[in-house]
Amino acid sequence: MKANPDLGHRSSLLAYSGSRLDARSTALRALIETELKQIPADEALGAALRHIRQDSRERALATELTYGVLRRRGMIDWRLTQVMDRPIERLPAVVKTALRLGAYQLLYLDTIPDSAAVHESVQIVKLFRARLGRDWSGFVNAVLRTLLRTAQPAWPDAATHPVAALAVRYSCPEWLVRRWLERFGPSQAERLCRTVSEIPPLTIRVNTLRISREALIEWFARAGIDARATAVSPVGIVLDKCGSVTELPGFRTGAFYVEDEAGQLIPLLLDPQPGERVLDACAAPGGKTTHLAALMQNRGEIIAVDRSPQRIRKVEDNCRRLGVSIVRSVVADARQLAMMAERRERGRNIRTLPFNAPFDRILLDVPCSGLGVLRRHPEAKWRKQAARLERHQRLQRELLEAVSALLRPGGVLVYSTCSTETEENEQVIESFCQAHAEFRRESVGPWLPPTGLPLLTSRGDLFTMLNEQAMDVFFAARLRRVA
């Protein structure tokens, strides 16, 4: 079977830099894996970094190149198209990725000499001459050198081409720009697009089972790490120029969990109490699960459910590191939990599944489009499609319908997403409440810190879009079963 030349060849890349990969080859490999195999960028880069030279500068450059190309791909492709005689998408993956890497260095990285950016891109492509069936190095060299000599063309005119203007300037997919323009108007749509292209802050949640926020900030200060408390979350810290997360003071001992400030607000809205029985229906990787446990002071019971055994292991690993002992993990499709509970009542699987009693509280952080966290997962910008919103909504409705049956009268359910789109947020909640008179929609205001009240919608839901604290975009609604 003939190998796919677009996937690259590990031995060729290793040969290129001796026994280990260099930064550019590592980034090339990660970007190709991300695009062709649909692997998350952090996973693809992590795997590629295992083969890089043990040099922190090389690793940092590989990371910068990988995420830089993903964040700026729209702009890069637009600039390259101006100096090429063919669409970039028709090029072999190795060639277009090498061009994007070279262009990113030329356009955005002042610390790298232009000659080095061009030369290294050409050398990488030469490695694949035999596998590609021709030598593309001359083409890459000509395109990048033409890019160097060509002044930046005028932006698409916002008055006549508003979608293209924002899509190019901020490297956002046109379908999403069009939706945001229609919903929010030019000013807010541009602000959203700008946010998507920014590098997000590194925010952590203090594990209050181990340490207080004040004590951890002091610990960081002694280590020379700039740290400040988050504006809304009572347990968040923002870190600046801190290096590798796993090397930070307190990581190995479970003093904190990496989590955006918006995500830290969701468990507060559920308000779980010590001794209660709580269901986290879509739990992996366990950030909100372990936060719930801290709010419960590690007393009570949390059932953490995910359909993926691999992802459930991440929940278990995080529980161990953070010292959480009240979580029981279950591999299952949350849409089937009510049926499992019914089987238990009939005397089946009595010892295998913990659904023999209703739950006091349920967190349903549903799978969604993830459009609110694109700045953290820039590769997702180039995968999402508007048609997927309908499929997401169908799944979200099924999940809400299923897990709501497991809530006791008087119990509370919080539904949350990291989506900007009404199809996954308000529409799901409104249709559910219309069909279920036994549920009442409550304002989340009483459970938000005072500084978070500007994040309330007119219906009393949490929506962090266009916030002033540089948070990700999360939506959350609180439902109480009244009968």
Distance between CA atoms of 29 and 31, rounded to whole angstroms?
6
Cβ–Cβ under 8 Å, residues 429 and 364: no
Q: Which helix (H) or strand (E) holds 134?
A: none
Cα separation values, 10 from 48, 60, 127, 299, Å: 10, 21, 11, 49
Which amino acid is present at 367?
Answer: P
**How many other CB atoms are found less than 10 A from the CB of residue 259?**
20
Compute φ and ψ for 20, nearest 5 degrees. Answer: -135, 160
Cβ–Cβ under 8 Å, residues 198 and 170: no
Distance between CA atoms of 397 and 382, rounded to whole angstroms?
26
Distance between CA atoms of 39 and 48, rounded to whole angstroms?
12
Please provide the DSSP assignment of 64-79 as one string: HHHHHHHHHHHHHHHH
Distance between CA atoms of 174 and 181, rounded to whole angstroms?
10
Catalytic entry in 193, 368, 418, 433: 418
Please provide the DSSP assignment of 331-381 as one string: ES-GGGHHHHHHHHHTTSSTTT---SS-EEEEEEE-----GGGTTT-GGGG
Q: Is residue 433 annotated as a catalytic residue, yes or no?
A: no
**How many other CB atoms are found less than 10 A from the CB of residue 374?**
27
Q: Which residues are catalytic?
A: 418
